[in-house]
Structure 1
């Protein structure tokens, strides 16, 4: 999911105004058309639901092998990989990582076809706040940051999104940038400017402890509770209270909220909505409104992290039970390929899985976990021979259709330096935004290829009327629990604190959903922090 807002409030606005893996291959899909018969391949994929859903039944064989190890990490998403990295940085090499899927990375994983790599979900990283030294260090060791000048990082230009980076299709034309400005009224113009000024004020606002109210990671934010009331109402209610009511402004903010949280302004809390705009401080003086991105999206960051878990990872393994013993904790792990169960005994277990999984492992906490709300998503990656439009603005990395059903598409070869590209690969994003994510999730997983084809094409045809004639393939990736969605009362409530509590200093929890915000930085810091906590407590115990 497109994880972050990168506008610089009023100044930037004025300047502009003048995605549990089972792969099911569907036979070749034939579509009739007035012009010609269209033939293209449509594939459906998704997280490993069949194996994951066995957690409900727990119909697994008895253990036939026992492994003893000091540290066990459950979950190979960004949090689990960051924990592996932190253990390695601390000189600890004796650990195992368990992952349900055949690949690592979770929402930061990717696919690849004959023409390009492509993201399955998260696809870029906004330039981090300069106070985030841990993330800057990781980017430096990954050769994404090449050095420093005046204490500010110098990024590899080839990994920064090149121009033109964003466009919006509105009123039958493409315009530069995503803030609506083509043909807007004076009233809308004024409200957009005022809204962005408000967001800039929140960006700079600090609490009594002299910390920003909105910061990344959230652990850096002020503990001052004076703005907690924003978590009681929705973003839409906050906008109504401040007389922000023009269509274009509401559409833009709704897009931003769906983009980061899966849910729109009618459902996310005002605190979360404002966080989207105010948490990034834009303190990189050398760079203007750009992000880090790669054809495979945040799969590139997964690539840099997974080296710390090489030869220490068990893929296609499902943890279905965790028990606390006198001197350790034990996990029962099912190996899908061998159809065997392994018992892994560890001194410390890091549970880096989302809470919708944890509720089957820790039934005493089920009531807490049920408070976590996850928006369903899907991405659709298309290979096209041409991507015709009206030519009003060049093809960009991020391409959004105003008022569209989905969240637009990214052009995955945007960073490609080759002058001639035979086929274009684009990835379309869609989140289900409603007040009943469970119902939406069931709906998503029941749909056939015809549903996804019709939805994606009806949206893309608004800007590209002839696109269906040029499609070679469509690959749809479904995520029933796409991302944590901060509805009112969640971020400042008690559920996150309760779900984060360790059990008898043997079982520890870490995941981006324990921050309430599903972005790379939160997942990354969750992994670092949980290892630091374990080691600090171990030192104290010693």
Structure 2
């Protein structure tokens, strides 16, 4: 099978020529020239975000607004908090988001072929004990009821259709992502031993009676037998326990890169095991079939389906909207009984002064650091510990995909020892006979320290990225390039938090979640140490509860 490096070397000159024309970049002036492949380079609005640290002089406030609760940040945590506050009757809220749309890495797009994700693309079946998430999934129509035994009943249209996943190894597509084809007996024995360990850890409980590994992770056992695993790297743990098989190590590296944007050498052993041992979902289908923890919920737009329901769960009156995008909060000024926040309206180029009884920073830590630099230097020190790897996500519209031998096209398609973590078929859930497809390629940039990988990523042009993306796709589907009609590229400079040793169970994370007085509150998946929908959703509710208790101490929020 040709490698990605071989493809780049052999076709680089021709592909560079192909890409030399004027491309349809969103930020470039329009052109009437014809180009072989259309597309654009996107990214979270770092130009606006960097105004926070760029020393810009913002205009004086020309508008004022007063609310009970101001939420800064429109990712899943902020939207989850907003939904929960409104359900508790605290409806005088305002959410501001610096980007042009809410959602963070759950944002999504659509073309004439299919909707598609720009980031998170599935939700594993949740533990039935996660009642708040189960309740939300019932609101979305994903859960349609419960059995007499209390098991959730899942809408089968939301469960990932078969065939689900395949791995290209030794030039052949095998079913499943755990390597099997050509794997020697000794390596198979190590794989079996590791998954037997996971079966044990799934059932394990600490001396406090809690599950050793749970989601949300704050509900995991405090037993030091398990928490000690947070002090060593996953790679060291595997070495110490004789897990040396290159096939097993590839699979575990794939898992860490896929969920954490990092490698076993970077994440803690607790986090590496949590990836496998915390999944305990179960349920039934509407026709009575079994739904297991290995099943996933997915939609063409990925977790954008859940995002849209979160956003729409609260009405925003047009005459006084309670959700404002393209607004940058740049100054937080605590006062005696309220907080004054200065917010820049990027579109109108005006500043609005917002007064709130409580402010929730549902922002990633690199943003929180900028907002609290003078107010809480200790929070800035915590932000410097957060390991955020950059990601590339590319949505490609193709009119065909040349297939090799073995398993046919699946929802999740991964190559053994390739640079990316593979692609999903965005319109896999589509029951129509649409011949074209949108495939979403995921590429955590883990080959350099995050700051260096981020710098390289932002210095690369759209043509650079298309060349690399097509080369990567050619390793999976030789000869596919002429079938690619469009390539849209998204860069996530701070794609997801990685749970490095000592991060999850260190005191610094606990401190970073605590309110400052009774006015400033915090919620984001960064504060869990893992970038999961479930964690962001939980963080929003956790902070919202704290806000209700601070504003109305006599209430008992459910």
Q: Please, what TM-score do these two structures have when normalized by structure 1?
A: 0.92
Out of 370, 373, 388, the position equivalent to 1:360 is 370
**Count of residues in Structure 1 that have an aligned counterpart in Structure 2:** 514
Q: Which stretches of structure 1, 4 residues or longer, exceed 6 Å deviation after superposition?
A: 26-30
Q: 1:350 aligns with which of 360, 363, 374?
A: 360
The alpha-carbon deviation at position 284 of structure 1 amounts to 3.3
| Runs of 5+ unmatched residues, structure 1 | 1-21, 31-36
Choose the corresponding residue for 1:508, options 513, 521, 524.
521
**What's 1:399 paired with?**
413
Partner residue of 2:423 out of 409, 418, 423 = 409
Q: Offset at 1:434?
A: 4.7
Matches within 5 A, 1:257-272: 257-272=256-271
- Over 3 Å counting, the alpha-carbon distance change for 1:46 and 1:278 in structure 2 is same
Q: Deviations over 1:492-530 (max 9, x none)?
A: 222212221211110100111101111000000111111
Equivalent residue for 1:101, pick from 99, 102, 108? 99
Which residue does 1:127 correspond to in 2? 125
| Contact 1:379 1:428 (C-alpha < 8 Å) held by counterparts | yes
Pairwise mapping of residues 360-399 of structure 1 onto structure 2 (< 5 A)? Answer: 360-363=370-373, 364=377, 365-399=379-413
TM-score, with length taken from structure 2? 0.89
Which of 455, 475, 481 in structure 2 is aligned with 1:442?
A: 455
How big is each residue's C-alpha offset from its partner over 1:329-367, in whole Å with a ceiling of 9 and x where there is no partner?
111000001100001000011110011001111012312
- What is the match of residue 15 of structure 2? none
Match of 2:552 in 1: 539
Q: Give SS of 2:407's match.
A: coil
Match of residue 145, structure 1, among 132, 143, 146: 143
Take 1:105 and 1:38, find their aligned partners in 2: how far apart are those partners?
32
Secondary structure of 2:517's counterpart equals: coil
Displacement after TM superposition at 1:92 (Å): 2.1
Whether contact under 8 Å (1:161, 1:293) holds in the other structure is: yes
2:477 is aligned to 464
Distance 1:362 1:541 in 2: 30
8 Å CA contact retained: 1:349, 1:508: yes
1:496 equivalent in structure 2: 509
* Counterpart residue number, 1:33: none
Rounded Cα–Cα distance in structure 2 between residues aligned with 1:38 and 1:324: 53
Give SS of 2:116's match.
strand
CA contact under 8 A between 1:262 and 1:433: conserved in structure 2?
yes
Q: Residue 540 of structure 2: which of 515, 523, 527 is its match?
A: 527
2: CA distance between counterparts of 1:153 and 1:42? 41
Using a 3 Å threshold, how does the CA distance of structure 1 residues 208 and 305 change in structure 2: closer, same or farther?
A: same
Q: Any residues of structure 2 matched to 1:468-483 within 5 Å, and which?
A: 468-483=481-496
Confirm or deny: 8 A CA contact 1:329 1:345 kept in the other structure. Answer: yes
Q: Give 1:309 deviation, angstroms.
A: 4.0
Aligned to 2:21: none
Q: Which residue of 2 aligns with 1:424?
A: 437
Q: 1:120 to 1:29 in 2, by over 3 A?
A: farther
The 1-side partners of 2:29 and 2:203 are apart by: 51
Partner residue, 2:309: 304
Distance 2:210 2:448 in 1: 33
* Cross-structure match for 2:329: 319
Counterpart for residue 209 of structure 1: 208
Give 5+ residue unaligned stretches, structure 2.
Answer: 1-24, 285-289, 317-321
**What pairs with 1:182-197 in structure 2 (closer than 5 Å)?**
182-197=181-196
Cα 1:310–1:59 shift into 2, 3 Å:
farther
**Does the Cα contact within 8 Å between 2:153 and 2:283 map onto a contact in 1?**
no
Q: CA deviation at 1:119?
A: 0.3
SS of equivalent residue, structure 2 residue 283: coil
User: Residue 24 of structure 1 aligns with which residue?
Assistant: 27
Q: Distance in 2 between matches of 1:49 and 1:38?
A: 28
Answer whether contact 2:152 2:282 (CA < 8 A) is retained.
Answer: no
Choose the corresponding residue for 1:83, options 70, 81, 84. 81
The 3 A distance-change label for structure 1 pair 331 and 157 is same
**CA RMSD in angstroms, aligned pairs only:** 1.8
The 1:68–1:397 alpha-carbon spacing in structure 2 relative to 1, beyond 3 Å, is: same
Instruction: Report the Cα offset of residue 226 of structure 1.
Output: 2.2
Measure the CA separation in 2 of the matches of 1:451 and 1:523.
Answer: 33
Within the alignment, does 1:221 sit opposite 2:220 as a pair?
yes
In structure 2, the partner of 1:9 is none
Give the CA deviation at 1:541. Answer: 6.9
Q: Deviations over 1:298-329 (max 9, x none)?
A: 00001110013442101100000101001101
1:539 deviation in Å? 3.2
- Summarize deviations over 1:456-486 as a string: whole Å, max 9, x none: 1222112201110101110000000000011
What are the Cα deviations for residues 241-293 of structure 1, in whole angstroms up to 9, with x where unaligned? Answer: 11111111100000000000000111111111001001111433611432100
> Quick one: distance in 1 between partners of 2:516 and 2:209?
33
Q: Distance between the aligned counterparts of 1:294 and 1:93, measured in 2?
A: 30
Cα distance in 2 between the residues matched to 1:380 and 1:276: 25
Kindly indicate whether the alpha-carbon contact (under 8 Å) linking 1:26 and 1:44 is maintained by their aligned counterparts in 2. Answer: no
Q: Identify the residue that residue 345 of structure 2 maps to in structure 1.
A: 335
CA distance in 2, matches of 1:258, 1:309: 35
The secondary structure found in structure 2 opposite 1:386 is coil
Question: Is 169-178 or 387-396 further displaced after alignment?
Answer: 387-396
8 Å Cα contact 2:174/2:406 also seen in 1: yes
